[in-house]
Structure 1
Amino acid sequence: MSAQQNLADSRHSLRHPVDLTIRDDIAYVSLNRPDKLNALNLATFKSLASIARSLRNNRNIRGVILQGAGADFCSGLDVKSIMEDKSGMVRLLKKWLPGSSNLAQQVSSNWRKIPVPVIAVIQGRCWGGGLQIVLGADFRFVTSDVSLAVMESKWGLIPDMAGNMALRELLPKDQALRLAMTAEPISATEALAINLVTQVSDTPLQDAESLLGELKLKSPDALAAIKRLYTRNWQSPDWKMLMMETWYQVKIILGKNQRRAVKKQLNPDDAKPYLPRGRW
């Protein structure tokens, strides 16, 4: 083997499976195994879960963009890698409490817990675990040539990476059943028609950045409260939704950012920048 090949293999082995960059108060989280179609191995699961936890506690970021390097967002599990590591399988599936998220589920459910808008930018294949990950985002912007699939039944499995929480919010039950049972990929047009994706675009990253630029003009506490209210209570009984609306509103009114939002509307020339988000 040549020295050049050795160097290339060394660089490949040192590459982090997920990159995090924070720029202009926006966190860019990128799957970084393009040579493997960003397939998910144990290291990717650990990195995604850890990054999402750290972003949840970062009170200065105003949004998250979730993306994949290369031609495909994510082709699903790196089946060979996962199946060969029996202890890794245990680490993916174990949980302390039945209702808590295990590592396999955290790569989707953790995005729902971050109190800022999370936008997934998706191109190429977004299959299996890749689709489960982006279902944890608040918005999904896709290219016109995207291919999306709930792939688990192809392997004799059920989808178990927490994406079902979003599927029941987004899709009628028959559409979710069809996706999960057939494991057949669908196009961007089909996905938009059944509400699986938010927007089809030739420039999804630019559109995502544009939306976050608009949302950065709003109070970070108001956006955090809206996300928490909708994510936690979308299917709650009426009495709980009414109760939480009032509770969050009182909390917001007692904070300083709401007064700054009013100032921005009534006297923008004298308005001050928003303070870092409170604890939500």
Structure 2
Amino acid sequence: MAARLAMGSGCGRTEEPRSRRMYEHIRVERTDDVVTLVLNRPETRNSMTPAMGEELASAVEEIRKDTSVRVVVLRGSGKAFSSGGDLSMLARDTGLVSGSEAPTMAGSPREFYERFLSIARLPQPTIAAINGHAIGAGACLALGCDLRVAVSTAKIGFTFTRLGIHPGMGATYFLPRLVGTSTACDLLFSGRILTAEEALRLGLVNRVAPPESFDEAVSSWAREIASSAPLAVRLVKRAIYRGAQHSLEEMLDFESLQQSWTFTTNDAREGLQAMLEKREARFRGN
């Protein structure tokens, strides 16, 4: 059974979720209504394995069911976000090495992708805090989040073709949608490495922060989003991604339905009352 997230929290207090199991390859941390998932293999620059993916998917499922969680942050432990697929795993899967000691994707690549990209299906807003280099599948994992902030020293690259393999982990889905077809071709054909500033110019990341203020930049952004009405934010997230596949007329119908429903919530009444009283709203998610 996956770790059970603590439902209650004190003001500004960091909590470890109450667990029925201990995670080995990730950490789950909580501060108020923000949960941080930490890729926790710093000795390999948080390289990605099936075991890590299983733990991440398990934690994501618990978060999905916890309506008290308003924002989810994904980051790496140590100096890297993620170096991508574990090299010993890739060596075994390409037949370069053999033997039971080497890890393997333990199934088709699709199954490997699904475990990690479970984060893309969360109803809560997600932020990839790119605290260091994000390479290959690690960079794609960051693209699976709604928002991205990178430390100014980070390097980001989709280096699949440099290894002689086809991109995976949603690279050919996420990149054209974020940066356009031509730029996606450039990045995936060449496998070149980007600086954080170039990633910002291209639209791969939303923000860049220097190392000395990176953690506060992530925390401040998460708190800002968490302070908005959580029911409305979840519906907005659903609508934005739905809008990419539907016409304007269909989205106007969808927005009308969702907005009418939010008019009936306590959050809407609190938001308008707070505006009239010239104070910050205190949304409770109902």
Matches within 5 A, 1:107-122: 107-108=116-117, 110-122=118-130
Distance 1:212 1:247, change over 3 A: same
TM-score normalised over the length of structure 1 = 0.82
Tell me the SS of whatever aligns to 1:244.
helix
Question: How far, CA to CA, are the matches of 2:109 and 2:89 in structure 1?
Answer: 15
C-alpha distance after superposition, 1:71-124 (max 9, x if no partner): 111111103135547995353535xxxxxxx4413423x333222221111133
Q: What is the total number of aligned residue pairs between the two structures?
A: 255
Q: Which of 149, 153, 163 in structure 2 is aligned with 1:155?
A: 163
Q: Please tell me whether the aligned partners of residues 38 and 72 of structure 1 are also in contact (alpha carbons under 8 angstroms).
A: yes
Kindly indicate whether residue 31 of structure 2 is the aligned counterpart of residue 23 of structure 1.
Answer: yes
Cα gap change, 1:212/1:156 in structure 2, threshold over 3 Å: closer, same or farther?
same
Q: Pick the aligned partner of 1:246 from 256, 271, 281.
A: 256
Amino acid aligned to 1:228: R
Q: Is the 8 A contact 1:39 1:77 kept in 2?
A: yes
Partner of 2:5: none
* Correspondent of 2:77 among 69, 94, 99: 69
RMSD of Structure 2 on Structure 1 (CA): 2.4
Checking the alignment, whether the CA contact within 8 Å between 1:171 and 1:194 is kept in structure 2 is yes
1:164–1:242 Cα change, 3 Å: farther
Equivalent of 1:223 in 224, 233, 257: 233
Alignment of 1:1-280 (within 5 A): 16-84=24-92, 88-93=104-109, 102-108=111-117, 110-202=118-210, 203-267=213-277, 273-276=282-285
Cα–Cα, structure 1 residues 83 and 52, in superposed 2: closer, same or farther, change >3 Å? Answer: farther
Contact 2:34 2:223 in 1 (8 A): no
Whichever residue aligns with residue 65 of structure 2, its letter is: N
Secondary structure at 1:66 match in 2: strand
Residue deviations 1:3-44 (CA, integer Å, cap 9, x gap): xxxxxxxxxxx9711111112111010010000110111111
Unmatched 5+ stretches in structure 1: 1-13, 95-101
Change in 2 beyond 3 A, CA 1:220/1:42: same
Give the distance between the partners of 1:92 and 1:46, measured in 2 at CA: 14
- Alpha-carbon contact 1:117-1:138 (below 8 Å) kept: yes
Deviation, structure 1 residue 204: 2.6
Q: Which amino acid aligns with 2:149?
A: F
Residue 234 of structure 1 and its aligned partner are, at CA, apart by: 2.6
SS class of match (1:131): helix
- Matches of 2:29 and 2:190 in 1, distance apart? 37
Query: Identity rate of aligned residues, in percent?
Result: 25
Give the Cα separation in 2 of the matches to 1:267 and 1:173.
48
- Conserved in 1, the CA contact under 8 Å of 2:124 and 2:234? yes
Code of the aligned partner of 2:50: L
Counterparts in 2 of 1:259 and 1:88: CA distance versus 1, 3 Å: farther
Letter in 2 for 1:166: F
Q: Are 2:132 and 2:154, in contact at CA under 8 Å, matched by a contact in 1?
A: yes
Q: Deviation string for 1:147-198 (max 9, x for gaps)? A: 1011222233222212443323211111111111111111112111111111
CA shift, 1:215, in A, is: 2.1
- Give the match's secondary structure for 1:73: strand
Question: Cα distance 1:158–1:105, how it changes in 2: closer, same or farther (>3 A)?
Answer: farther
> What amino acid is the match of 1:274?
F
Tell me if structure 1 keeps the 8 A contact 2:89–2:104: no
Question: SS in structure 1 opposite 2:59?
Answer: helix
Paired amino acid for 1:127: I
Q: Which has the higher helix share?
A: 1
Q: TM-score, normalised by structure 2?
A: 0.81
